[in-house]
Amino acid sequence: MGKLSLTSFVTLDGVHQAPGGPNEDRRDGFEHGGWSVPYGDEDFGRFIDGVFSRVEAFLLGRRTYEIFAAHWPKVTDPADPVAGKLNSLPKYVASHTITNPGWSGTTVLSGDLAKEVTALKGRTGGEVQVHGSGALAQSLLALDLVDTVHLLTFPVVLGAGRRLFAEGALPTAFRHAGGSITSTGVSIQTYERVGRPEYGTYELPENA
């Protein structure tokens, strides 16, 4: 059984919308696209290279898939650690509108998401990776299908935009599995899902 990992970029106030460019996602009048770009450095690059070194298949939402498909097939250097994996490994896109994907190695998942992703994990020996794909990520989290979350928190507050963990998210507990801080202040933390949250009370001393 493979594991499903999610790599997501968020701001300090939890926004995940359009980290990579001004025109990436302007829904709801969002004007802050590209907010992650100024924080890219060698530490960030090494982490991303490490993530891609472990992948066996990709699972993407329609919007992220279309952004990737417009760029990565044009990067033909086989030594590129990101393009080499994206162009050669199996890609699955969850979509009801894409019917004839042009990117080689793509399979469209248009049926029951829980059943199809569970089956995908079952036939993949290693890591199935989700990158970005905010709406899909929220659905997978709600279905308890995400095993590992790589959460990259950037030192910026936007005050507007779509949040990854929105109101109504499934209560879930995670175990911290490692992390680091880049030279530009990006907090990279890895969490493993462990189940439902536990609760308690901070008791005050009797003489307080």
Going from N- to C-terminal start, the domains of the chain cover: 3-195
Listed as own residue / partner, the contacts of 112-120 with beta carbons closer than 8 Å and 24 or more positions apart are: 113/139, 113/140, 113/143, 114/143, 114/145, 117/4, 117/59, 117/143, 117/145, 118/145, 120/2, 120/57, 120/59, 120/92
For every one of its 208 residues, what pLDDT tens digit does the chain have, with 9 covering 90 and above? 899 999 999 999 999 999 999 999 999 999 999 999 999 999 999 999 999 999 999 999 999 999 999 999 999 998 899 999 999 999 999 999 999 899 999 999 999 999 999 999 999 999 999 999 999 999 999 999 999 999 999 999 999 999 999 899 999 999 999 999 999 999 999 999 999 999 999 988 777 5
This prediction's pTM: 0.93
Q: Distance between the two ends of the chain, CA-based, in angstroms?
A: 52
**Looking at the domain that runs over 3-195, which CATH code has it been given?**
3.40.430.10
